[in-house]
Structure 1
Amino acid sequence: MTNPGDVRDRLSAVEADNARLRRLLDEAGVADNLRHALRDTMALVRRVMWRSAETSRDVESYVAHLEGRLDSLMRMRGRTDAFGEADLHLLITEELMFHLVREGERAVIEGPSLRLRPKPAQAMAMAMHELVSNAVEHGPLDVPAGAVEVRWQVEDEAGGRMLTLVWTERGGAIDPDSAMQHGFGREVLETLLAYELGADTSLVFAPSGLRCTIRLPFTDRIGRIAQDPPDPAEG
């Protein structure tokens, strides 16, 4: 189990890093809308590069993991730049298809149609990339009989709408080299999602594979259910 103090320290480091980037952009006189987009993307890119270097065993591993993480981030940035939001189901299927894992064959993906805003979409894309990559390299998608299930729901609770997403692996085994046991993958799920989305993430290492549960307030800042109209203030 992760020490709460360690999580707080990592959140503080992320906040300090973002504050430095904000100062640089402010000093450069970049326009507000472009400054926010650059700050969000570049802060995440810098974090990915730094932590990938710290958690990789060798240069080859660093290059491979960094390339995959940046590709995922840039694909989502391109999609949200083009459409203003990202479909959660498509975000997950594209990440799986990048590794030739098809929905309906070795993956079950089920939940209401949700549209995520650009910044939350980037954070969720990073989380899905880490889960998929780990399952391909160390989990059930590394064996013929393995599979994954991704299910989510939005429920009205006392404090407002809550999104709960559950990633479940089947037919695999726990690998001690798994990035979910240690390293940047776990940091993305437990720290990045907490910082960017206010999410609470739990990881359970079952005999057949990982079960990851992500819970977060599904506010207008995060996204909308597809049948809800877009927020005119963000148009």
Structure 2
Amino acid sequence: EFIDPDQFEQTTAMLMRKLATGGTTRHTIRVRTRDGRPLVWEVSSRLIEDTAGRPTGLHAICRDVTEAKRSETHLRLLIDELNHRVKNMLAIVQGIAQQSFKADRDIVTARRAFEGRLAALSEAHNLLTREHWGLVSMTQIIGDAVRPHGEPARFALDGPDLAIMPKTAISLALAIHELATNAVKHGALSNAAGQVAIRWARVAGENSHRLSLVWEESGGPDVHAPEHRGFGTRMIERGLAAELAGTVKIDFRSKGVVCTVDAPLPEGAE
């Protein structure tokens, strides 16, 4: 009753082989305790023979290796997950590098942009690592992303502390970084009086809740819409929209840039 038919067949085959060839064997089998808990045993056995070489008994030692096998499986999963994350991170860095170092860009400007984007990516990665790559705080992600760009008093953050998945957190951190960088260069953070309000909320939709997020600048110089969309703007409007499966729009209003996000509530934020 403590061993399944396939495991019984395995142990029988090992016994038959030992009777035929002798020697010492070691194998693992799955068994069950009386209360039904699964265990893994490592069975080491040696055939006992008389002086004429005839089998007279079997010396076997069974060792419970359940925890060791569980740890081994967990380690394999961690290695596979690490490999997956490293590949994803390298793909993100490659994309940032390709866009930052375009042929028509000044190398000094491109390098600064690249370093800033890597710093934002690194900050998000640090938070994800602290949270063991589980759900992370949306408030923390936004706060970390704007911190290098101005004093806390320049930013007004208002919204529920939603929990979001790692991939969404990275996309959001990079988008907020791009908005803040643009604000420092041309917008509300380019003078001493400008402010940035970042508001987000969980709103009721027809079938499920949605995420509404608004980045709104005020108190800066008059804004003029650029002649063409740069990498940062494209990454926000396309990349973040794709990650959230929603819409992202940047309005270059004369009194300040406004970025609005409307998307299904991210996984984990329910």
Q: Distance in 1 between matches of 2:262 and 2:105?
A: 31
Residue 165 of structure 1 aligns with an amino acid whose one-letter code is L
- Among candidates 136, 139, 150, match of residue 89 of structure 1: 139
Residue 218 of structure 1 aligns with an amino acid whose one-letter code is L
Q: Specify the alignment match of 2:269 in structure 1.
A: 224
- Among candidates 251, 256, 260, match of residue 204 of structure 1: 251
Q: Distance in 1 between matches of 2:107 and 2:223?
A: 25
Indicate if the aligned counterparts of 2:225 and 2:252 stay in contact, CA closer than 8 A: no
Indicate if the aligned counterparts of 2:244 and 2:266 stay in contact, CA closer than 8 A: no
Indicate if the aligned counterparts of 2:168 and 2:266 stay in contact, CA closer than 8 A: no
Residue 35 of structure 1 aligns with an amino acid whose one-letter code is N
Shift of 1:117: 1.2
Indicate if the aligned counterparts of 1:40 and 1:119 stay in contact, CA closer than 8 A: no
Aligned pair count reads 190
- Among candidates 232, 239, 256, match of residue 185 of structure 1: 232
Residue 242 (structure 2) pairs with residue 195 (structure 1) = yes
Indicate if the aligned counterparts of 1:138 and 1:177 stay in contact, CA closer than 8 A: no
Residue 151 of structure 2 aligns with an amino acid whose one-letter code is V
The answer to which structure, 1 or 2, has the higher relative contact order (CA under 8 A, 6+ apart) is 1
Identity %: 32
Indicate if the aligned counterparts of 2:224 and 2:254 stay in contact, CA closer than 8 A: no
SS at match of 1:35: helix
1:35–1:161 CA distance, 2 compared to 1 (3 A):
farther
Q: Distance in 1 between matches of 2:83 and 2:95?
A: 18
Tell me which stretches of 4 or more aligned residues in structure 1 moved more than 4 Å.
175-178
Residue 179 (structure 2) pairs with residue 131 (structure 1) = yes
Q: Which has the larger radius of gyration?
A: 2
Shift of 1:53: 1.3
Q: Distance in 1 between matches of 2:79 and 2:242?
A: 25
Q: Distance in 1 between matches of 2:172 and 2:192?
A: 27
* C-alpha distance after superposition, 1:112-131 (max 9, x if no partner): 11122111000000000001
Which is strand-richer, 1 or 2? 2
1:82-161 equivalence runs, <5 A: 82-83=130-131, 84-102=134-152, 105-161=153-209
Residue 91 (structure 2) pairs with residue 32 (structure 1) = no
Indicate if the aligned counterparts of 1:152 and 1:166 stay in contact, CA closer than 8 A: yes
Q: Specify the alignment match of 1:74 in structure 2.
A: 122
Shift of 1:31: 4.8
Residue 242 of structure 2 aligns with an amino acid whose one-letter code is Y
Which is helix-richer, 1 or 2? 1
Length-normalised TM-score, structure 1: 0.74
Residue 102 of structure 2 aligns with an amino acid whose one-letter code is E
Q: Distance in 1 between matches of 2:250 and 2:262?
A: 12
Q: Distance in 2 between matches of 1:100 and 1:186?
A: 20
> Any gaps of 5 or more consecutive residues in structure 2?
1-77
Q: Distance in 2 between matches of 1:191 and 1:54?
A: 19
Q: Distance in 2 between matches of 1:206 and 1:54?
A: 28
Q: Distance in 1 between matches of 2:257 and 2:110?
A: 23
Residue 238 of structure 2 aligns with an amino acid whose one-letter code is T
Residue 223 (structure 2) pairs with residue 174 (structure 1) = yes
Q: Distance in 2 between matches of 1:71 and 1:195?
A: 23
